[in-house]
Amino acid sequence: MTVVAIDGPVGSGKSTVARMAAQRLGYLYLDTGAMYRAVGLLATEAGVRLDDEAAVVPIAAHAELRFDGDGRLFAGDRDVSGLIRSLEMGAAASVVSVLPGVRRLLVERQRTLGAGADIVMEGRDIGTNVFPGAEVKVFLTARPEVRAARRADELCAKGEEVDVDEVLDALLERDRRDSEREVAPLRKAADAVEVDTSKLSLDEVVAAVVAIVRDKVAS
């Protein structure tokens, strides 16, 4: 069984690349950021402070998060896949993901979902923390301006009104919070292959990731 860990900052192309690479390889795909976003959404709806660990951890514990076969995320019976994709929920996810109790719960869930499977799992700490023994580790990066433009395009496509400078500011703020937190910060694992996607097309990145996986699996 092969775990492919794909980590990287906001807008590095992780989600799309991981999903497409998984499809091409015939592996399962798990978007761990969606789980932090769902906890952010539920905490926002509950009206608690997002940095209040004593309030947010029970919400995460009772969230009953599950993915269906099409990659949609449910909290209990409710499909939250669309709701979690806003700029606001990205920021909320980044705040609740700092809380060690939230991370403990979600990481445990991620390890269970990944155990014994051929899976591409993407996030911030997959290669460093969730599956430090993953057979394949990829760290995707891109220049901040490129990442902001991609994020803005994604949000526009969903009908959200966005200002690229605002997206860039939110992204830099999120990078800072994700990289500076104490528990499992965003960083490249020592044994990860870094791919700078700034000048590559989506197809080129997917092809590079698939090649890295096939290379490792063959050797």
CA atoms 45, 47, 53, 58: torsion sign: negative
The strand pair at 65-67 and 136-141 is best described as unpaired
Q: How far is the CB of 174 from ligand DC (least distance, A)?
A: 5
Q: How far is the CB of 219 from ligand DC (least distance, A)?
A: 27
Buried b (16+ CB within 10 A) or exposed e, 121-160: bbbbbbbbbbbeebebbbbbbbebebbbbbbbebbeeeee
Binds ligand DC (CB under 6 A): choice among 29, 178, 195, 212: 178
Reported in sequence order, the residue ranges of the chain that DSSP labels E, i.e. its strands, are: 3-7, 28-31, 65-67, 73-75, 78-79, 119-123, 136-141, 193-196
How many chain residues bind ligand DC (CB under 6 A)? Answer: 15
Q: What are phi and psi of 69, to 5 degrees?
A: -65, -20
Nearer Cβ to ligand DC (72/214): 72
Nearer Cβ to ligand DC (130/206): 130
- The count of residues in the chain is 219
Binds ligand DC (CB under 6 A): choice among 109, 137, 150, 174: 174
**Quick count: other Cβ atoms within 10 Å of Cβ 72?**
13
Residue 102 within binding range of ligand DC, rule CB under 6 A: no
Residue 93 within binding range of ligand DC, rule CB under 6 A: yes
Q: How far is the CB of 166 from ligand DC (least distance, A)?
A: 16
| Per-residue contact flags (x/-) with ligand DC for residues 154 to 173, judged by CB under 6 A | --------------------
DSSP state of 30: E
Interface region with ligand DC, contact rule CB under 6 A, candidates 121-129, 131-139, 196-204, 208-216: 121-129
Binding residues for ligand DC (CB under 6 A): 10, 32-33, 36-37, 90, 93-94, 97, 123-126, 174, 178
